[in-house]
Structure 1
Amino acid sequence: MAAGRRRRRRRRRGSGTSGRPRGPGEDTQSQRNEKMECSNHDAAHALVLSPDGKLYEHGATASADCSQTRLVKELENQNIVQIACGDQHAMALSRGGKLFTWGQNGHGQLGVGSQTTLIPQPQLVERLKGISLAHIAAGGAHSVAVSLSGAVYSWGKNDFGQLGLGDTEDRNCPSYVGALEHWKTVFISCGADHTAALSKEGLVCTFGAGGAGQLGHNSTRNELTPRVVAELWGARVSQVACGSQHTLVYVPSLDKVYSFGSYEEGHLRDERKPNQLIPLPINSPVNTGKSCQENNTSQEVIEIIAGGNQRIVLCRSNKNSCLNGIATLKDKDVDTWISNSSSQHWISIKKNIGLIFSSEACINGSFLEKRDKHFKTSKEFSGVDISEVQCFYEKIIKKPELFQEVQKEIEKLVPSLSSSPISPENFRVYLILPFLLQGNDESSYRSLRLLAQAIMKLQPKDLQTLECLWSNLETSFFNKLVVLYQSVSQKSLLQFAEEVRGFQRNLFELHPHETVTLQILQILYQVNSRTGFRVQENNFYVPEVKVIIGLCWAFNVKEMPLWKLTKYPCIFDIQDKIAIHNTERNTLSSPCSDIYLIVMGQEHWVFPVRRQYLLQDIWTHLNDAPTEQFKKILKVSFVGEAGVDERGLSQELFSVAARTLCQPSTGAFRHVASGLAWFPSQAPSSEHTFFRIGTLCGMALYNGLMAPIPFPRALYKKLLGLAPTLEDLEELLPAAGRNLQGILDEECDHILESLDMDFTIMEEDSMVTVELKKNGANIPVTKYNRKEFVDLYLNYVFNESIRKPFKDFMQGFSRGCPARKWKMFLPAELQIVLQGHTKFDWHLLEENVTYSQYKRLDRTIRNFWIVFHRLPEERKKMFLAFLSGSDRIPGYGLEYFKFCIADPKAENPDELYPFANTCSHILFLPRYSSKRILKKKLLYATEHNESFGFG
C-alpha cells in the first residue's frame, strides 16, 4: 500500500477509473492537467488518456512492439473524458456524451447487442446514446454506467447477479437497474464479479458474487439485487472501490478506509483473515485518528484504489483528477457566449454550441432541476427545469447569430434521435427542443416537423411515457407546447392550400410530413382531456382547415383530403365538424350521379305523418324501413297540410316528437330532480322503446337537425365511448353528486363513520337496495375505501343500472345515423348539435339579418325590432320557432344563423299577418306604420305558429 505514489494502476478485475465520486454537473475542465492510465489485470492491454482528451493504448492490440503506445485512431476526433478496463474489454466516454467499447464480448460486456466474441475497434453503445452519463466502470466481464441523475445501467456477464437485475442471465445490451431507481447513485465500481454503488447521501449498495465476503453483508451469499451495506449505515461514505474479491470505502468524517472481502495473494501485510465479511478499518497511514495533513504536512486523502490484490490510498496536496464529465450547458457558458460573441471568440463559441447541441446526451444533461430533484426522474417526472430552457431561449433570441447556430445544430441532430429509449431520461430531449424552436422562421418550423416525425417513430409504450411527462408539465408550458405545434400545423396547411389554389398540387397530395404535427397536436389534445382540459379547446383549432373544406366543395371533392384530416378532430371547431358531417352525409345519400334517380326523388326518404298520431306513424316508418333507407335525406310531409319540406318540416317533426316523448304520460324516461331525461333502471327486456328513440336521435343527427330531448352530458360521453365522471352525476342527480363529493373531501374519520354508509345503493324508483360489490352491505365506507365506493356508485348509475336500455339506444342510434364522422364531435359539441343552443344573444340575431325590399333604417324595420326586444323571453323563443321550426339555435351557432325580412308587397297590409318560410328563414313582414298594430300581428302569428305551408 503506497501513499502518494505515481504509477500505473494495475488491477486484476477492478474498475478502470478513479474511486472519487463526482457530483452531477460538476465542472472539472480545469482539473484535467495530468494523464490517466488504466489496464487489465496482467497489463497486457493498457489505456492512457492524455490531458487533451486523446486516447492511447499499448499491448496485445497495439503494434508488435508492446512497449510502444499508439493513438486510438477510431476515437481521435472524440474528446475522451473517462476510460475503464475490464479483464479483456475497454470503455471510453467522450465529452460529447458517447460511450465506446471494444475488446472481448463473450458475455455481451461491450453492450452493442452483437454476438461477436471479439470486436477490436471501438463501437458506439447505441442504447445509451441519449443518456447523460456521469461515470463508467468495467468489471471482469461486465460493465456499468451511471447517469447524471443517478440512473444505473448494466450489461455483460451476470452469473452471480453482478448486474443487479434480479436474475443470472447475461445481457448484451445495457439494462436499467430498476432496484436503484431514486437511489441517487453518483458513483459505481466493479470487481471481478461484484458491483458497488455509492449514493449522494453516502450509502453503499453491493450486489453480485459474495463468496469472499466482498459484499460486506456478514455472509458469503450472492445478491441478485442491490442491498445496502448495513454496517456502513450513517457513515456517509465518500469513495468506494472494488478489487477482484474485495471492496474499499472511505469515510471522511472518521478519516478511515474500510475493507471487506479477501485477497488472493495473502494478507498484504495485514494480519486479518482473507475473508472479511463486514467492513473494518485497514492499517494505513491515514487510519491514525489524525488527518493526512497531520501525518504528512499538506497531504489529503483524495483517492482509494482496489486492484486485484491491492489496496492503494493516494495522499496528495492537490485534488487534480483526470475524472471528467460530458459537456452540459451552464449559465456562465451562456453569459460568456453573449458577452464574447465578437468575431475573435466566435470560432470557440461555435465549437461549444456544436459540442452540446449536436449531442442528445449533452442536451438531456443540461437544464436539470436544481436541489437534486432530477434524481427523482421517472415516467412521471422528467427532471428538466423547463423554466431554465425558456430562460436560455430568451437570452439567445436576442443574439440572432447564437440562436441560428443553436437551431442549425438541433436541425442536424433531430433525425438521429433515439427511437428506442432505455430510460425516462431519454425523453428529456423531446421536452427541451420545442422550447428552443420557438422562432417564427422556416428553420424552426422545419425542425419542429422533424421532431414530430421522431416522436411518432417511438413505440406505443414509449409514446405513453412521453404523454405522461407532457401531462405533468406546468400548464403555461403545456399551453406553449400546444401553441408551437398548432402554429407549425397552420403553416403546413396554409402552404398546402395556397399550392392547391395555384394549381401546383391537387387536393389528393396531402403528404405525411405535412400531417405529422397534426398527429402531435391530437395527442396533446388527448393528454389535455385526460388532465381536465387545462388548455382551452380553441387553442388546438387550425383555422386553415376551413380553407381546405372550401376547396373541397369548390372542386367537388367530397372525401379526400378531408377524410385524412378527420383523424385529428381537435383541429376542427364545431362549425368545421358540422361541415365534415354534412359532407359525409351527402356522399352516403348520393352514391350515384344518375340524373333520372335524382329527379324521381329516390335519393330522399319521403316520410308522411299525421299530427294526431305522430309517434305511432314515426315508429311504423322506422319498423318497416330497410337499413339502406336511413342513408337517404329525410323529407317530411304532414298529412292534410300543404307545404314542401326544405328542412323546416323535418325539424318540426323532431321537435314535436322530442316534446311528446318527454311528457310523463309516455313513461319513456325517468324524470329526475334536475329536470333531465334519463333511462329507467328497470326497463323491460322485451321493450323496443329505446331502440326506436335511439334511431330517431340518430336520424336527427344524420339529417343535420335537432332532437331536443334534455339528455345530460353523460349520455353523449357514453355515445363517444367516454366514462362519465362525478361532475356528470352532479348534473344528473345534484344531491347525490354533492354528497359523494362531500365524502371524498371529508378529512375526519369519525364523521365518515357517523354516516353509517356501506357499499349499497337504494333504487329510487323501486326502493330496492343494490349491493355495489359482493357482500357490500357488510362493508362500511371509510376514508381508505371511499374512492372505490364513489367509482362503483358512478359505474352503477351510468352503466350497470341502464345496461339494457342504453345498449338498445346505441344500436338504434347507429342505425339511424349511418355516417361515422360524428364521432369527431366532443361530448359537449354533440350535445349542442342534437339539442341546439338554449341561450340567445338577440342583438346578435338582429345584426345577422338581411333585408329584401327593406332597408335597415326603414320605419317598419325599426318598429319591428323595438317591439321584438320588448317581448318576454318566451315570446322571443316562440318567434324563433315560428321562423325556423324550432325554438333553439342549431349547433353551428347564432352568429351563423341568418334570416331575411322581406316585404310581401301586399295590397292591403293591414289585413295580412307576418308569415315565414321556415326552410329559408325568410320572414315576410307587411309594412305597418304603427308599433301597436305590428305588436298585435306579431303576437298573434307567433302564438298560432302560422308559418302556413312554407316548410
Structure 2
Amino acid sequence: MSKGGLAGPDGTKSVFGQMCAKMSSFSPDSLLLPHRVWKVKFVGESVDDCGGGYSESIAEMCEELQNGLTPLLIVTPNGRDESGANRDCFLLNPAAKSLLHMNMFRFLGVLLGIAIRTGSPLSLNLAEPVWKQLAGMNLTIADLSEVDKDFIPGLMYIRDNEATSEEFEAMSLPFTVPNASGQDIQLSSKYTHITLDNRAEYVRLAINYRLHEFDEQVAAVREGMARVVPVPLLSLFTGYELETMVCGSPDIPLHLLKSVATYKGIEPTASLIQWFWEVMESFSNTERSLFLRFVWGRTRLPRTIADFRGRDFVIQVLDKYNPPDHFLPESYTCFFLLKLPRYSCKQVLEEKLKYAIHFCKSIDTDDYARIALTGEPAADDSSDDSDNEDADSFASDSTQDYLTGH
C-alpha cells in the first residue's frame, strides 16, 4: 500500500481508495474482530505491522477524507464563507453519486462500524447534522442553519418580500437552490424564475431539497455500518452520542492518558517524568493529537479506560543515548511505547518532543527519522513500529405549510 502520493481524480490511489478496493476480500467474520481488522504494508516504509501500521492506516485515511484527496466529504457552507458555526466541519458530498462513490461511502460506513466495535476512535470532524442522519434521525431547519447560516435568511427574504409583482420579477431570481457544495440545483422543470405566485412553492421545494440532499450518501454509509454493527440500534442514540462512540472526545484529557501510563527504567516521581507531563499539559489539543499519532498511530484517545482494552502507555527511559540532549524521542506505535533519552532539562525535552511529533510521522525501520543531531545514525534498535433564532422563527411560522404545500 502506498501513501503520500497522487491520489487520482476520484481518490482511488489514496490509502482510503486502495483499502476500499480490497473490501471484497474481507469476510464478514473478519469485520467483527475485536481489535485489528487488517495488516498493512506501506510501500517505502519498513514496518512489521503488529498494530501500529494498522492504526497509522486508519489515521492516514481520516486525514485523506478531510484534506481533499478523496471526494466523499466537503467543508460546510459556513466553512467556505468563513462565518457562522461548524466552519471546521465536513458534510457528505451530495454530488458524489457514482457507483465508485457509493462503494466508498459504504467503506466509510465500515470504518465507522469498526471504530464502534473496537473502541478505537477515528479523527473525523463531521458536522452534527451528519451524525444525526447516521443515527436515523431526520434533519430539521435548525440543522440546516447550523451548517449554512445564510440559507434560511435567504428564504425568508423571498417569502416575506413586499415588492410588487413587477418589482419581484425584475429581480430575476432563478428557480434554483445552492446545494451544500455551492452548486445551483434546478428545483422545477415548470419554472425558470421565482415570482410572487410561485415563491411559496419555491420555498417548499428548496427546504425539501436541502433536508434530503444527503439521503443517498447517508444510506450508503449506514449500509456499510450494518456490516459491522446492528444499525437499527443506532436510533437509541443522539447524533452527539454516536459521534462520541465513533470518534471519542475531540479533547485529549491527560488524566485519562496518565491513568494508563506505566514506566520502565525510571520512577514516576523522577524529574524527567514530571517534566514530560508538564510539557504535555502545555501542549495545545492539536499538539496532543500529534503526540498520540507519533506514539500510537492514532489521533484521539479511547472514550474510557475500559476501551484501552488493557493496553498501557509505556514510557521507557534508556541511558544508551549519549549525550542524551543530542537525540530525539522514539516510539513503537505497535506497543504504545515512548522511549525517552535522559534529557538534562525540561526545555530540551520540550524542544525534542515538539520536533518529533511535527516531523517524524513516518513509520519506518530504515533510519529516515532516527538520526542523532550529531548527524550519525541512532542505534539499530531505535525503530518505531516493529511489530438559531431565524430558523426557529421560520420553523414556527407556517413552515409546515410550505413543506406540505398548503
Q: TM-score range by the shorter chain?
A: 0.5 to 0.7
Matched with 1:734 is 149
The counterpart of 1:812, out of the listed 209, 212, 224, is 224
Instruction: Tell me how far apart the structure 1 counterparts of residues 216 and 351 of structure 2 sit (CA, whole Å).
Output: 51
Matched with 1:666 is 70
Secondary structure of 1:734's partner? Answer: coil
Secondary structure of 1:709's partner? Answer: coil
Secondary structure of 1:815's partner? Answer: coil
**Percentage of identical aligned residues:** 19
The counterpart of 2:116, out of the listed 690, 701, 706, is 701
Secondary structure of 1:716's partner? Answer: helix
Structure 1's unaligned 5+ residue stretches are 1-608
Instruction: Tell me how far apart the structure 2 counterparts of residues 727 and 938 of structure 1 sit (CA, whole Å).
Output: 43
Secondary structure of 1:936's partner? Answer: helix
Instruction: Tell me how far apart the structure 1 counterparts of residues 174 and 104 of structure 2 sit (CA, whole Å).
Output: 35
Aligned partner letter, 2:94: S
Shift of 1:759: 7.6
The counterpart of 2:177, out of the listed 761, 774, 799, is 761
CA spacing shift, 1:645–1:735, aligned 2, 3 Å: farther
Shift of 1:811: 2.0
CA spacing shift, 1:635–1:808, aligned 2, 3 Å: closer
Contact 2:140 2:211 in 1 (8 A): no
Instruction: Tell me how far apart the structure 2 counterparts of residues 816 and 916 of structure 1 sit (CA, whole Å).
Output: 31
Matched with 1:683 is 96
The counterpart of 2:269, out of the listed 839, 851, 857, is 857
Secondary structure of 2:150's partner? Answer: helix
CA spacing shift, 1:700–1:839, aligned 2, 3 Å: closer
Structure 2's unaligned 5+ residue stretches are 5-12, 81-86, 364-383, 388-406
CA spacing shift, 1:749–1:736, aligned 2, 3 Å: closer
Matched with 1:712 is 127
Shift of 1:618: 0.6
Determine which structure has greater relative contact order: mean sequence separation of CA pairs < 8 Å that are 6+ residues apart, divided by chain length.
2
1:700-729 Cα distance to aligned partner (Å, 9 max, x none) = 333333333332222222222211122321
Secondary structure of 1:902's partner? Answer: strand
Shift of 1:882: 1.5
Matched with 2:55 is 651
CA spacing shift, 1:638–1:715, aligned 2, 3 Å: same
Shift of 1:682: 3.6
The counterpart of 2:316, out of the listed 900, 903, 908, is 903
Matched with 1:638 is 41
Contact 1:761 1:771 in 2 (8 A): no
Matched with 2:404 is none
Shift of 1:657: 0.8
Contact 1:654 1:700 in 2 (8 A): no
1:778-837 Cα distance to aligned partner (Å, 9 max, x none) = 56588xx69x946x54431231x3343333333223235467655543210111222332
Matched with 2:357 is 942
Of residues 682-691 and 882-891 in structure 1, the stretch that sits farther from structure 2 once superposed is: 682-691
Secondary structure of 1:710's partner? Answer: coil
The counterpart of 1:617, out of the listed 6, 11, 18, is 18
Contact 1:642 1:949 in 2 (8 A): yes
Contact 1:706 1:834 in 2 (8 A): yes
Instruction: Tell me how far apart the structure 2 counterparts of residues 630 and 847 of structure 1 sit (CA, whole Å).
Output: 30
CA spacing shift, 1:645–1:844, aligned 2, 3 Å: closer
1:722-749 Cα distance to aligned partner (Å, 9 max, x none) = 1112232122223225556x669x9x77
CA spacing shift, 1:835–1:873, aligned 2, 3 Å: closer
Aligned partner letter, 2:218: F
Instruction: Tell me how far apart the structure 2 counterparts of residues 794 and 680 of structure 1 sit (CA, whole Å).
Output: 18
Where is the strand percentage greater, Structure 1 or Structure 2? Answer: 1
Instruction: Tell me how far apart the structure 2 counterparts of residues 761 and 863 of structure 1 sit (CA, whole Å).
Output: 56
Contact 1:690 1:809 in 2 (8 A): yes
Instruction: Tell me how far apart the structure 1 counterparts of residues 233 and 146 of structure 2 sit (CA, whole Å).
Output: 27
Instruction: Tell me how far apart the structure 2 counterparts of residues 894 and 730 of structure 1 sit (CA, whole Å).
Output: 37
Matched with 2:390 is none
Secondary structure of 2:320's partner? Answer: coil
Aligned partner letter, 1:630: L
Shift of 1:873: 4.9
Aligned partner letter, 1:925: L
Shift of 1:686: 3.4
1:191-247 Cα distance to aligned partner (Å, 9 max, x none) = xxxxxxxxxxxxxxxxxxxxxxxxxxxxxxxxxxxxxxxxxxxxxxxxxxxxxxxxx
Instruction: Tell me how far apart the structure 2 counterparts of residues 891 and 751 of structure 1 sit (CA, whole Å).
Output: 55
Instruction: Tell me how far apart the structure 2 counterparts of residues 649 and 684 of structure 1 sit (CA, whole Å).
Output: 31
Instruction: Tell me how far apart the structure 1 counterparts of residues 27 and 256 of structure 2 sit (CA, whole Å).
Output: 43
Q: TM-score, normalised by structure 1?
A: 0.31
Shift of 1:685: 4.3
Contact 1:730 1:738 in 2 (8 A): no
CA spacing shift, 1:694–1:949, aligned 2, 3 Å: same
Instruction: Tell me how far apart the structure 2 counterparts of residues 868 and 820 of structure 1 sit (CA, whole Å).
Output: 40
Contact 1:851 1:901 in 2 (8 A): yes
Instruction: Tell me how far apart the structure 1 counterparts of residues 286 and 53 of structure 2 sit (CA, whole Å).
Output: 22
1:886-942 Cα distance to aligned partner (Å, 9 max, x none) = 222334489989954533443335165423344554433332222243233313322
Secondary structure of 1:916's partner? Answer: strand
Aligned partner letter, 1:683: A
Where is the helix percentage greater, Structure 1 or Structure 2? Answer: 2
CA spacing shift, 1:681–1:858, aligned 2, 3 Å: closer
| CA RMSD, 1 decimal | 4.2
CA spacing shift, 1:822–1:926, aligned 2, 3 Å: farther
Matched with 1:914 is 329
Contact 1:883 1:921 in 2 (8 A): yes
Report which of the two structures shows the higher radius of gyration computed on alpha carbons. 1
Contact 1:837 1:893 in 2 (8 A): no
Contact 1:903 1:924 in 2 (8 A): yes
CA spacing shift, 1:946–1:626, aligned 2, 3 Å: closer
Contact 1:622 1:692 in 2 (8 A): yes
Q: TM-score, normalised by structure 2?
A: 0.66
Contact 1:713 1:827 in 2 (8 A): yes
Contact 2:252 2:285 in 1 (8 A): no
TM alignment of 1:284-363, pairs within 5 A: none
1:609-660 Cα distance to aligned partner (Å, 9 max, x none) = 44465234312320333444423351423245334434x4333222211211
1:59-78 Cα distance to aligned partner (Å, 9 max, x none) = xxxxxxxxxxxxxxxxxxxx
The counterpart of 1:890, out of the listed 299, 302, 308, is 302
1:770 aligned onto 2:187:
yes
Aligned partner letter, 2:187: V
1:381-410 Cα distance to aligned partner (Å, 9 max, x none) = xxxxxxxxxxxxxxxxxxxxxxxxxxxxxx
Shift of 1:871: 4.3
